[in-house]
Chains A and B, each alone.
Chain A
């Protein structure tokens, strides 16, 4: 009889509001195996981890640990079952020593008891030695580097006798040497019969370390394979699922006159500097770059949230100043923000109120609300953008991410803008709504709108844009044609002349 897997998940499902984060995930972990979990952002990895560690309750499906079915998994219950998680950002108490932090996790007992300082120190020393970490148990955690703190977390997991250790992108901030050390620790854990769930975006690590790999896509497990039988291309295909060209509607625009022109625009406060860019009517200009490259900051300058202090902004050839969102809106600039739950949609307010929020002046002459006009505008956009909702009175928060995004978009389309700035329009949006949003954006460009598309989703920027501006350090460092390949764009974003690996 085969040994029961140390962790077995069957048809695990979880929804947040209307968004289905997991829609039936099967996963099993054997003792003494490193099992990699792979998937794009938003594929459901973090939700899965949160369910296994007891932070979230699943809506459906079964969890079994060591062959025993488990219900109502709480963080405490998960810990008692021997499930430990090493997070990317260690959750330690910075002002306590390493030994104290370890003791906090491991020692049991009431509040009133004597502290065995020496035993505490020796325990910490022993655990740290076992994972080969050169860290003093006396050191205060805030004096440790991020990887050292991760090692402390691993020591805790080891000390608690965990049977299942989850590592969430453990190497994200490690140097090459530290990585090597960590790999040694992981292999040791495996040798001792611990099941390791290893999450990483770095495929080479998965090939170096993992025994099997499970790929998640859109909240479903699309397959579990022995790593030895896979290659990089195969894994990527599993993650993405489709060919890039298939997903994105083709460009049909014939760009017209320049609508928005930036000449050496900068904003000291937000670190934007010397941006020169033209956006034409009917054109989609993509803005690519790493997080923190200044793309959102540039959008905020153009929307008047952090006004520019150098350079000039021309709209239809006329010099304009944008000192507040009201001025930007009045000039026909619309900004669909990145953080739609905080900025894009007022979650507590009805869809109709959200959609008319930027057109109070035009729709409500003399500041008098006209409920009929508001409702018909909302119904128009609900139909036009295919917003899935129970009606214009449904609160924004009741919608799924993709539909919230459509409401946010509708709010700005209602202003009849000349320039539309989209900031990560499909982040956290499911695949179906994502392609709908892409089609809408294409259609808007075809109707003559000048679109500035900020996206960290490389295939999206490339698939949607007529031209791509790559930002780095607050400025545009390269303008590439829409046909550029991902390697070129990524290399430019990283600041490398040639493709660097």
Chain B
């Protein structure tokens, strides 16, 4: 809830501070509808990764490999279309399958070998990106996608950037999964108490696997949208996105220790980061310094730490408070040691 106010304040600030009129009398900057759509367009990929990570983090897991998998799937998609000569829909379907497979690899290592998710996905983080670079030999990219495909990433449909529709559809799907189905209930139980979930007869391994496979699938979808937006499939696609996505999830109130969290919180987290990043770029002072990226990184970090602190403080204060009523205990201090 706090985050919603932060988001509104952020938006209003940039609306007034980041909107200007240029010499020809045209309104430019943050306050324009075009810019708002732009923000939405640019947040779809990180937003999808954040959606992918939400169930995973609710199970007290983590997936560092999502952005690397995005890169790998982008390359595979380009390869299927360009080198194998497949039609776009088939190439996309295969890329989605590969994403699910990548997630399944994570899931298999985590559930059957009982390895910690942080280490497993740190491994696949390098593995997937390395594979993408190996396939392209480090430099090759796939371009010249047909207009019909680029429509997905660069045009509008029914008034909104086309990919936003996909993003909202996935958000709705993940929301229903987490908040309205037994899967979400199981994710939470596993996140709070993995042993407790097992003793309750929940299929813990299957549920954990589902979270990681779903994450892989969504990462692949993000890869396709990324490719359509840039018109280019390259191995370094989405480099570093996983950290923004994790930040968005945690900012949205999902506990890194598992159990607590919500999909709508994640969406607010994504929006807060996106608005901050784009809003800064439209501030005259920041533009003069040419330091939008740096400022965005700095403020995102500060925002995250603030949000985490704000989440913990009430509990700390509650603990600090002296026990409710202990009038019976005499108040003299113990004699000091000799």
**Interface, chain A (partner B; CB < 8 A):** 10-11, 57-65, 68-73, 77, 80-81, 303, 305, 324-326, 328-329, 335, 337, 342-349, 353, 357-358, 360, 364, 367-369, 411
Interface status of B195 (Cβ within 8 A of chain A): yes
Q: Which of A71, A324, A344 contacts B196 (CB 8 A)?
A: A344
**How far is B200's CA from A79's CA once the two chains are assembled, in angstroms?**
45
The answer to whether A69 and B201 touch (CB under 8 A), given A344-B196, A369-B182, is: no
Q: Which of B185, B186, B334 contacts A80 (CB 8 A)?
A: B334
- Beyond contacts A58-B326, A324-B203: 6 other A-B pairs, Cβ-Cβ < 8 A, are A60-B328, A72-B333, A81-B335, A329-B201, A346-B200, A360-B185
B186 / chain A contacts, CB cutoff of 8 Å: 360
**How far is B326's CA from A152's CA once the two chains are assembled, in angstroms?**
37
Task: Say yes or no: B337 contacts A80, CB within 8 Å.
Answer: yes
Interface status of B86 (Cβ within 8 A of chain A): no
Task: Say yes or no: A348 contacts B199, CB within 8 Å.
Answer: no
User: Shortest Cβ distance from B327 into chain A, in angstroms?
Assistant: 8
Give the size of the chain B interface in residues (CB under 8 angstroms). Answer: 35
The answer to whether A367 and B329 touch (CB under 8 A), given A81-B334, A325-B199, A358-B200, is: no
Interface status of B94 (Cβ within 8 A of chain A): no
A-B contact count (CB 8 A): 115
Interface status of B192 (Cβ within 8 A of chain A): yes
**How far is B180's CA from A368's CA once the two chains are assembled, in angstroms?**
6
Task: Say yes or no: A71 contacts B329, CB within 8 Å.
Answer: yes
A77 / chain B contacts, CB cutoff of 8 Å: 334
Q: Which of B189, B260, B329 contacts A346 (CB 8 A)?
A: B189
User: Shortest Cβ distance from A203 into chain B, in angstroms?
Assistant: 33
Q: Which of A57, A58, A357 contacts B200 (CB 8 A)?
A: A357
Q: Is the interface of B mostly helix, strand, loop or mixed?
A: loop
Task: Say yes or no: B329 contacts A325, CB within 8 Å.
Answer: no
Q: Which residue of A lies closest to B191 (CB)?
A: A348
Task: Say yes or no: B200 contacts A305, CB within 8 Å.
Answer: no
A329 / chain B contacts, CB cutoff of 8 Å: 201
A342 / chain B contacts, CB cutoff of 8 Å: 193, 195-196
Task: Say yes or no: B196 contacts A346, CB within 8 Å.
Answer: yes
A328 / chain B contacts, CB cutoff of 8 Å: 201
Q: Which residue of B lies closest to A57 (CB)?
A: B323
Q: Which of B181, B192, B335 contacts A349 (CB 8 A)?
A: B192
- Interface positions, chain B 66-82, Cβ under 8 Å from A, are none
User: Shortest Cβ distance from B311 into chain A, in angstroms?
Assistant: 15
**How far is B332's CA from A69's CA once the two chains are assembled, in angstroms?**
7
The answer to whether A343 and B196 touch (CB under 8 A), given A57-B323, A360-B182, A368-B180, is: yes
Task: Say yes or no: B198 contacts A325, CB within 8 Å.
Answer: yes
A80 / chain B contacts, CB cutoff of 8 Å: 334-337
User: Shortest Cβ distance from A360 into chain B, in angstroms?
Assistant: 4
Interface status of B331 (Cβ within 8 A of chain A): yes
Q: Which of B188, B325, B329, B337 contacts A63 (CB 8 A)?
A: B329
User: Shortest Cβ distance from B37 into chain A, in angstroms?
Assistant: 35
**How far is B181's CA from A81's CA once the two chains are assembled, in angstroms?**
58
User: Shortest Cβ distance from A235 into chain B, in angstroms?
Assistant: 30
Task: Say yes or no: A62 contacts B189, CB within 8 Å.
Answer: no
- Interface positions, chain B 254-277, Cβ under 8 Å from A, are 259-260
Interface status of B202 (Cβ within 8 A of chain A): yes
User: Shortest Cβ distance from A266 into chain B, in angstroms?
Assistant: 22
Interface status of B151 (Cβ within 8 A of chain A): no
Q: Which of B181, B259, B326 contacts A368 (CB 8 A)?
A: B181
**How far is B189's CA from A349's CA once the two chains are assembled, in angstroms?**
8
Q: Which of A11, A303, A369 contacts B185 (CB 8 A)?
A: A369
Q: Which of A61, A335, A353, A360 contacts B329 (CB 8 A)?
A: A61
**How far is B112's CA from A431's CA once the two chains are assembled, in angstroms?**
43
B180 / chain A contacts, CB cutoff of 8 Å: 368-369
User: Shortest Cβ distance from A35 into chain B, in angstroms?
Assistant: 22
Interface status of B183 (Cβ within 8 A of chain A): yes
B113 / chain A contacts, CB cutoff of 8 Å: none
Q: Which residue of B lies closest to A71 (CB)?
A: B329
- Interface positions, chain B 293-337, Cβ under 8 Å from A, are 323, 325-326, 328-337
Task: Say yes or no: A411 contacts B192, CB within 8 Å.
Answer: no
Q: Which residue of A lies closest to B183 (CB)?
A: A367
